Structure 1
Amino acid sequence: MSAGRLLSVLLLLQARGGMSARRIAGELGVSVRTAYRDLARLQAAGVPVRAEPGRGGGYRLVDGYRTRLTGMSEGEARALLFAGLPGPAAELGLAEEVAAARLKLLAALPAGLREEVDRVAAVFHLDAPGWYREPERTPHLPLFVDAVLAGRAVDVRYRRWRAPQEVCRRLRPYGLVLKSGTWYLVAATEKGIATYRVAHVLDAAPADELFDRPADFDLGAHWAAYLDDFRARRHTGTATIRLSPKGRRRLPDNLPPEVVRAVDATATAVGDDGWVEAVIPVEGTEHACGELLRLGVDVEVVAPAGLRRAMTATVTALARAYGTG
């Protein structure tokens, strides 16, 4: 028997009023039989739980009864930040703490405010991951949460895109960032502060070393600066392209915002059929070729010559593969 679960049953009844055993079981993720046993144990412990038979009945606390067992644990207090983010909270290993903290908050509210909280919660839902890809597996994320909060270094084996692809690092975690459903760890290394994709951590183990995060380190400001630097380093060149009206309409769904903004800023009409010519930023020939091919016949590369040749070679190979080349 879990004393914590009994307290959760008690707080549910205090926060929600009358509830069936089936609904209690659903809220706590247990069987209906377990919910009945927990209710019986509360009654045996002297908690005035009253059973109301018939349609619309259920279990409720005797009017006026309120538990004072609403003190929050350290873990539940941490979890408050994620009270409206059940998915990220579960990934961080805080799902149970979030549920318990929310129950305790609801139990402390007057009835009218509890109803308002429930009403608002019913009409908003956050789903952080992007479309068209499976959520990343991040088994080491709870370890990094503990390391960030305790100021403990972590030894990791990490997979990166450049050679050597697998490297070992000692990291001093400063914070975690969730962006478009992907978790990133911001950590100090021997060479300075760096960012690591949590899903690319192959192994991780806490080290004996403890450290103090600099008092003037601002995670939000650091992340904003990191994104600005990433965008500046990402686009190393430009290309001149021509777009049909349809291609321009499809642009926001197929290419990054920076490209869309560049087209809006530089587009000039070519001919009287609606086509425009614009200068866009590109990462490199191979990457740009792959992105622009998403627009099919609605885009033409004018320059540079290397990118135009790459587009021609790819289209020729496609035509040959489909038996028309």
Structure 2
Amino acid sequence: MRADRLLTLLLLLQNRGRLTAGQLARELEVSVRTVYRDIEALAASGVPVWADRGPDGGYRLTDGYRTRLTGLTGGEAGSLPLAGMPSAAAELGLGAELATAQLKLRAALPAALNERAGRVAERFHLDATAWFRDADPVPFLATAAAAVWEDRLLRVHYRRWAGEVRRELHPLGLVLKGGIWYLVAAAEDQVRTYRVSRLLAVEVLGPAPARPEGFDLAGHWTAAARRLEAGRYRDEATVRVTPRGLRLLPMLFGAAGAGAAAAAGPPDADGRAEVVLPVESLPVAVGDLLRLGTEAEVLGPPALRAAVAEAVGELARRYR
């Protein structure tokens, strides 16, 4: 709506000072011609907007002018928990609300605190996406978020590792972990986690029943993540690593590798140290350990050492 855009334009000038028509157009996602018309509308309504000519020119407000039209709408207030994560807000369809809410909050602050907030924004940035991969496509994220917010049931077509299923879900919350969105929902009397990018189809149904009494999304997620980590590693591998291999453990195996490196035994005459590394199933462990290349030798268990030796032999035959 034009009234919302005019207020956003006014708050931009108030918070950031002089801005050119091009800068305002990019912020508002409109044409420069539209900015000219909006500036004229603000001036006609009594807002003291000045145009400075020249290469360093632009539009600014008269010194000391501040608007008090800074009340938050419901959508803007609901977007505030995502402050600092504009990409996540945009995926949820709350990008515009968050931007406006932040402008209004800045406008309501005293000048000294406003300046400090600006300095923080210039110097700190949160990027929730993991390295070296694109974000998951999440075409049904906004639908899932609306169902969570409005307490609606969902009928979903979902792709699991073991095949596709159709289920009726009671959405309880959304979690962003390492750039991946997860839907926490009750299904068949159990609270389960669904990766939003694996939703193949979503249908919004009627009102959901009451949320489970005392359900705490953050507490549930923490407990579920700990159970996943505990169940992930089914065995241990004894490995002799070079100094470089020891440094690689945290990078390749995360917290498990860091723990193994910290508990490494003393180096032998060749500088190699023995570590005990938590591993998953045998096929997964073979692939993971081969990433260490010549920086590691698997000592045990015997079945894992034999599997790694077989894989290395097959590689040698292929590259002969």
- Classify the TM-score, shorter chain: over 0.9
1:287, distance to aligned residue in structure 2 (A): 0.5
TM-score normalised per structure 2: 0.93
2:249/2:261 contact within 8 Å kept: no
Taking a change above 3 Å as real, the CA distance of residues 21 and 242 of structure 1, as seen in their structure-2 partners, is: same
Corresponding residue for residue 202 of structure 2: 204
> Aligned ranges for residues 44-83 of structure 1 at < 5 Å?
44-83=44-83
> Aligned ranges for residues 141-180 of structure 1 at < 5 Å?
141-162=141-162, 165-180=163-178
- What is the SS of the residue equivalent to 2:294? helix
Q: Which of 270, 292, 305 is residue 308 of structure 1 equivalent to?
A: 305
Taking a change above 3 Å as real, the CA distance of residues 158 and 62 of structure 1, as seen in their structure-2 partners, is: same
Taking a change above 3 Å as real, the CA distance of residues 244 and 39 of structure 1, as seen in their structure-2 partners, is: same
> Aligned ranges for residues 215-294 of structure 1 at < 5 Å?
215-265=213-263, 267-269=264-266, 271-294=268-291
1:63, distance to aligned residue in structure 2 (A): 4.4
Please give the per-residue CA displacement for 1:142-199, whole angstroms capped at 9, x wherever unaligned: 112211111111111111112xx11111111111111111111111111400011111
Taking a change above 3 Å as real, the CA distance of residues 268 and 62 of structure 1, as seen in their structure-2 partners, is: closer
> Aligned ranges for residues 5-20 of structure 1 at < 5 Å?
5-20=5-20
1:263, distance to aligned residue in structure 2 (A): 4.4
Gap regions ≥5 residues in structure 2: none
1:52, distance to aligned residue in structure 2 (A): 2.9
Please give the per-residue CA displacement for 1:44-79, whole angstroms capped at 9, x wherever unaligned: 334332323335432233445443432211110011
- What is the SS of the residue equivalent to 1:72? coil
One-letter identity of the residue aligned with 1:312: A
Is 1:43 equivalent to 2:43 in the alignment? yes
Please give the per-residue CA displacement for 1:206-255, whole angstroms capped at 9, x wherever unaligned: 11132222341111111111111101111112222221222112111112
Distance 1:124 1:146 in 2: 30
Is 1:182 equivalent to 2:168 in the alignment? no
Distance 2:201 2:72 in 1: 33
Distance 1:123 1:271 in 2: 46
Taking a change above 3 Å as real, the CA distance of residues 34 and 298 of structure 1, as seen in their structure-2 partners, is: same
Gap regions ≥5 residues in structure 1: none
2:173/2:217 contact within 8 Å kept: yes
Distance 1:222 1:68 in 2: 41
Distance 2:123 2:19 in 1: 21
One-letter identity of the residue aligned with 2:12: L
Task: Return 83-92 or 47-56, whichever deviates more.
Answer: 47-56
Distance 2:91 2:283 in 1: 35
One-letter identity of the residue aligned with 1:176: L
Distance 1:309 1:66 in 2: 74
Taking a change above 3 Å as real, the CA distance of residues 21 and 299 of structure 1, as seen in their structure-2 partners, is: same
One-letter identity of the residue aligned with 2:304: L
TM-score normalised per structure 1: 0.92
Number of residue equivalences: 320
One-letter identity of the residue aligned with 2:195: R
Distance 2:267 2:127 in 1: 42
Give the CA RMSD over aligned residues. 1.8
Corresponding residue for residue 30 of structure 2: 30
Taking a change above 3 Å as real, the CA distance of residues 277 and 68 of structure 1, as seen in their structure-2 partners, is: closer
- What is the SS of the residue equivalent to 2:176? strand
